[in-house]
Amino acid sequence: MSSVRPDLIEKVTGRAEYITDLTVPDMLHGFVVRSPAVHARIASIDTSAARSMDGVVDVLIGEDVASFGCWGVVLKDRPIIAIDRVRYVGEPVAIVIAETIEIAENAAERVDVGYEELPRAATIQKAMADGAPLIHEHHENLQDFYFKGGAKPTQGSNIFHTYRNNVGDVDAAEAAAAYVHEDHFTFPAISHFAMEPHAVIADFKGDSLTVWAGAQTPTAVQKVLSRLFGLQLAKVRVIVPFVGGGFGGKASVKIEPLVAGASWKVQRPVRVAQSISDSMLTCRRLGAEVTIRTAVDAKGRILAKSAKLLLDGGAYSDTGSAVATKSANRIIGPYAVPNLRLEASAIYTNTVPGAAFRSIGGPQAVWAKESHMDNVAAAIGMDPAEFRLKNLAARGERTRPDLRALDMDMSELMGRVTQSFASESQASNRRSRGMAVAATDPANTPIANAIVRLKIDGSILVSVSSIEVGQGAHATMARIAAQTLKQPFSAVSTLRTDTAVAPYDWGTGASRSTVVVGLSVENAALDAADQILDMVVDVWELPKESLSLVEGGVSTGSEVLTFHQIFHRTLGVDSGEVVGRGAITPRSKKGALAESPLFWETSAGLAEIVVDEDTGEIHVPRYASAADVGRVIDRVAAEGQDEGAAAMGFGHALYEQLEFEDGQPVNATPIDYTIPRISDVPPVFDTILVENGDGPGPGGAKGMGEGAILPVAPAIANALFSAYGIRITDLPMTPEKVWRALQKRK
Amino acid sequence: MTNLHPVSFSLNGQPVEIEIPAHTLLIDLIRDRFGLKGTKRSCDMEVCGACTMLLDGDPISSCTTLAVDVDGKEITTIEGVTPPNGLSRIQNAFVLHGGLQCGFCTPGFIMAVTALLKANPHPTDEEIRHYLHGNLCRCTGYIKIFEAVKSLAAEQVSEDAALPVARQRNFRLETS
Ligand code: FES
Ligand code: FES
């Protein structure tokens, strides 16, 4: 079945509608006034000058909505808008609501806010120091609210979550080891930089609320808004048109409560369309400090690994606790290590809130662990690839007792990237190579519902809560329904995401849609098929076993009954449809989906680099990326996911860092912050997708799209290490850092 | 009341006349007054190319261009290069090669590539990279965008004819 993704046609012609292309009748525009202070008490807010301007309808400030209290998805720590205190530069303190954006923006300059500075804690060290100012006085955990489980905060401190997992006896193993090696790495805050900044339209009408948002998890937005404003879930409707990039930055809940608050105040639709600079002050990847230690025996077998990760969660927790937990899981890698001591904490700081970002906790952990692997190999005089191969967990082996056994062979991926470079057997003397691998456990909550409706003319409607953010989820769902019902892809339409019509689903993220939502679509299509076959059994009095679906109808063996004939004769009128329902729960497939992770997201990367020794600039002329994806459903889309992830990895490796100076953002604008451009990606790039058909999803698919970001930075750092003996321990690997390291070595 | 200035220009081949305040940006005029929403606003600072339109055939950032400055000129937007049915060969190549994901950067890329191929129908790899340096994409990693443009650079075409959608059926997708 070959066919074009309908969303691509809409996008390439400019017809695809994103939030800012929508207009709701009577809509007003909101402009957000943001805190210039790092940590301060709001002493006064005077909105009178702004209010008196022509075209200004109202100004929302904290005290208007203080009675609604706070919200959160793991910890309840966030007000709708700052009430009496700001905790980071960029925190919303007022929204001017006006007839046009221009008026709102001009009036925003006349909102007068008085701040009294408070002691600040803008870095992990400062936030953890004795006597550090508390960014939140107490911590309220929301158990099982968004993810299963919750946060484990340390009351009276800035630590909002700590996760520990110990296996075996690390101390005994280290005492018996031939060699123990410890390293320390740091990882910066990184901006999501989706090309479409956050934009939301909210329309509060009495006891109902409609929100148009580029939300990756519409049902989480619905739930938070329902609780916050005391509305029935059924009265909160979240509509998600095309989304211009998310990468986690539009997951959980972001500016929806803020815009809903503005609409609540004026009881009219309000739109807030942020700039990219605003979005850079809305959320970012968590920075990290990582200490990692490995003990090996005389033959190079890893006996024990311990890791301590401190994650900079920013001023509000969002899903930072989950990021910390995952970072501890993801630092194990695809290795068989009998003794583990893992600890990860998420810490409040007076900076932009941390949030989920493509492979949560993954890049932080893999940067440290794969750089460290090459250091250990060098220290014991072993080739790094050999050291990895010696310590890989085999397919079917567990890397930790509480995690599902590995469902892939990392040696296969390592072999494939190496082969990809085989045409040039050795790197020339100007070029050097480095490798890194990753195995991560996606948090792909096995909860999803789907509806598949087969209509009398054979056309099919699929409705799911998955959003279309460019990954092709809607086309994938249509394809699964088409295959299950044996109808052409062109007969199937996937409805735009709208919680008023789509059934509950956890959300779009953690590479889960193809597998979890895909299975629910498959079940719904099977249910629809069952119903149509039952009509034939009933009306034509034929045994069900003799019937099969064919394009346009049902074959009885001797003839083909069109859907038209079946509905008409069964219902007596020339109309009708069957509604198939499919659900996935942790109990589905006899509980087989409940064990975590549902599948492993794995990748290997091999980088070839050239260093300009005069400037320290690193060029990557060649890169190979391999991932085990189970089964490819749409090759072009699947390759695109990994290429996009790897390119983001180049950004993380070489340029990207959202910088703060004592809490003040230094480069939070698209002019000052660099993401990769077309000339920055390696001219020779090999995207390898390994298919063994062994995933839990439809046709043996696994989820994908997050793995390829992981090996890039450590692979480049390892290439640098192998060629020059210099080890960069903090990202990004800017020319200045590399140059300094080269100088120091000389 | 703000002073209004008359501007007349050609918008996608149609003569238009309108009175606007002097500070109106071209992107707002086209999106809000003419209702052509295909052009996207992203960085709003002339960094990303998402808002690219053609001014007398040359790419410009409409987010930083004053609308009064296009008086007497020709403006082409994504709507102006989209045939009434089907796709332009550039749009078709982006779809075939998967040169887009979320699509937010795509109208800007299509406009930039339109200008590139008009000026230089067979650009080299280096010329493609150089020309598209000002267009940012956070999703694709550019590899498939590059492949799409390269396929066009290799083609011999005289006319920028619209391709029927049926042509895209050649698109190979693997399904399980
Ligand atoms: S929006 Fe105009 S260049 Fe980015
Ligand atoms: S396709 Fe999303 S930014 Fe280019």
pLDDT of B91 above 80: yes
Distance from CA of A583 to the nearest CA of B (A): 22
Nearest Cβ partner of A631 from B95, B171, B176? B176
Cα of B103 from ligand 2 centre, angstroms: 5
Cβ(A213)–Cβ(A256) under 8 Å? yes
Q: Which amino acid is at B73?
A: K
- DSSP one-letter string for A578-640: EEEEEEE-TTHHHHTTTSSPSS-EEEEEEEEEEEETTTTEEEEEEEEEEEE-SS-SSHHHHHH
pLDDT in tens, B60-73: 999 999 999 999 99
pLDDT of B161 above 80: no
Interatomic CA distance for residues A460 and A491, integer angstroms: 6
pLDDT in tens, B1-34: 578 999 999 999 999 999 999 999 999 999 999 9
Quickly name the fold that domain B89-161 has. Answer: DNA polymerase; domain 1 (1.10.150)
pLDDT in tens, A525-554: 999 999 999 999 999 999 999 999 999 999
Token code pair at residue A78:
């966030």
Cα of A115 from ligand 1 centre, angstroms: 34
Q: What is the mean pLDDT of residues A398-410?
A: 94
Query: In the prediction, which pLDDT does A745 show?
Result: 86
Query: In the prediction, which pLDDT does B168 show?
Result: 37
Interatomic CA distance for residues A366 and A358, integer angstroms: 13
**Which three-class secondary structure string do you get for A420-475?**
HCCCCCCCCCCEEEEEEEEEECCCCCCCEEEEEEEECCCCEEEECCCCCCCCCHHH
> pLDDT-based confidence at A424, cuts 50/70/90?
low
Domains of chain A in start order, with CATH, are: 6-118+198-273 (3.90.1170.50), 287-443+596-745 (3.30.365.10), 448-591 (3.30.365.10)
Q: Do A470 and B145 touch (CB under 8 A)?
A: no
pLDDT of B156 above 80: no
Residue with token string 């020309």:
B131
Q: Do B139 and A15 touch (CB under 8 A)?
A: no
Alpha helices in A72-182 (DSSP H): 101-108, 124-128, 170-176
Reference A196, options B65, B78, B50; nearest CA is B50
Average pLDDT, chain A: 95
Is the CB–ligand 1 distance for residue B63 below 6 Å?
yes
Query: In the prediction, which pLDDT does B165 show?
Result: 45
pLDDT of A416 above 80: yes
Cβ(A90)–Cβ(A35) under 8 Å? yes
Nearest Cβ partner of A632 from B102, B136, B174? B174
Query: In the prediction, which pLDDT does A704 show?
Result: 80
Interatomic CA distance for residues A513 and A516, integer angstroms: 5
Tell me which of A1, A3, A8, A274 to substitute to probe the interface with B (most B C-beta atoms closer than 10 Å). A8
Q: Looking at A41-55, A150-164, A463-477, which range is the least confident one? A: A463-477
pLDDT of A403 above 70: yes
Q: What is the mean pLDDT of residues A13-30?
A: 97
Query: In the prediction, which pLDDT does A147 show?
Result: 87
Domain parsing of chain B, residue ranges:
4-81, 89-161
Ligand nearest to the CA of B137: 2
Ligand nearest to the CA of A472: 2
pLDDT of A3 above 90: no
Query: In the prediction, which pLDDT does A511 show?
Result: 65
Query: In the prediction, which pLDDT does B74 show?
Result: 98
Cα of A399 from ligand 1 centre, angstroms: 46
Quickly name the fold that domain B4-81 has. Answer: Ubiquitin-like (UB roll) (3.10.20)
Is the CB–ligand 1 distance for residue B74 below 6 Å?
no
What percent of chain A shows pLDDT beyond 70? Answer: 98
Interatomic CA distance for residues A485 and A476, integer angstroms: 14
Q: What is the mean pLDDT of residues A396-424?
A: 92
Query: In the prediction, which pLDDT does A570 show?
Result: 97
pLDDT in tens, A263-281: 999 999 999 999 999 999 9
- What is the C-alpha R_g of chain B? 17
Q: What is the mean pLDDT of residues B133-145?
A: 97
pLDDT in tens, A603-662: 999 999 999 999 999 999 999 999 999 988 888 988 999 999 999 999 999 999 999 999
pLDDT of B83 above 90: yes
Interatomic CA distance for residues A255 and A267, integer angstroms: 18
Neighbouring C-beta atoms of residue A132, cutoff 10 Å: 18
Is the CB–ligand 2 distance for residue A470 below 6 Å?
yes
Ligand nearest to the CA of A195: 2
Q: Are strands A339-348 and A159-167 parallel, antiparallel or unpaired?
A: antiparallel
Q: Is A711 exposed, middle or buried (0-12, 13-18, 19+ CB in 10 A)?
A: buried
Task: Please tell me what DSSP assigns to residue A253.
Answer: -
pLDDT in tens, A295-339: 999 999 999 999 999 999 999 999 999 999 999 999 999 999 999
Q: Is the CB of residue B113 less than 8 Å away from at least one CB of chain A?
A: no
Q: How many secondary structure helices (H) and strands (E) does chain A include?
A: 20, 31
> pLDDT-based confidence at B163, cuts 50/70/90?
low
Average pLDDT, chain B: 90
